[in-house]
Amino acid sequence: MDSTRQQKIAKLIQKELADIFRQDGLNIYHCMITVTKTTVTKDLSIARSYLSLFKTENTENTIKAIRSNTKDIRFRLGQQVKNQLRIIPQLEFFVDDSLDYIENIEQLLKK
């Protein structure tokens, strides 16, 4: 169970990352990126964000590109939250495939 502080920081990071990906998604990654969930470790050192990728042919290449830009994304996140967080957590990105899973279940139910 996450503490209230962890939840607040996770929501803040999720909102700010969503803004960053909204600005960069189409220009840099050539797809639309949504931050579906963010969790923060107990010591607030690592933030794990789950991303939904839309309008992309190759999800793996896109997530690799995002992971290779993690330093830049973390720097920009730090610029946006510098007055709210003392230390910016390390960022980890994962593909959120829950929408694909739901779509697959719906297809199976229709059969």
Q: Residue-wise pLDDT tens for the chain (111 aa)?
A: 678 999 999 999 999 999 998 888 777 878 888 899 999 999 999 999 999 888 777 888 888 988 999 999 999 999 999 888 889 999 999 988 776 677 778 777 887
For residue 40 the two structure tokens come to 């923060």
CA separation for the pair 12, 105 (Å, rounded): 32
Residues with Cβ within 8 Å of 55's Cβ and at least 6 positions away in sequence, in order, are 30, 31, 32
Residue 31 is part of which domain span?
A: 4-110
Domains contained in the chain, number: 1
- Provide the phi-psi class of 104: left if phi over 0, else alpha when psi is between -120 and 50, else beta: alpha
Task: Please report, for the domain that includes residue 26, its CATH number.
Answer: 3.30.300.20
- Kindly report whether the global pTM for this prediction surpasses the value 0.85: no
CA separation for the pair 45, 67 (Å, rounded): 17
53 contacts 23 by C-beta, under 8 angstroms: no
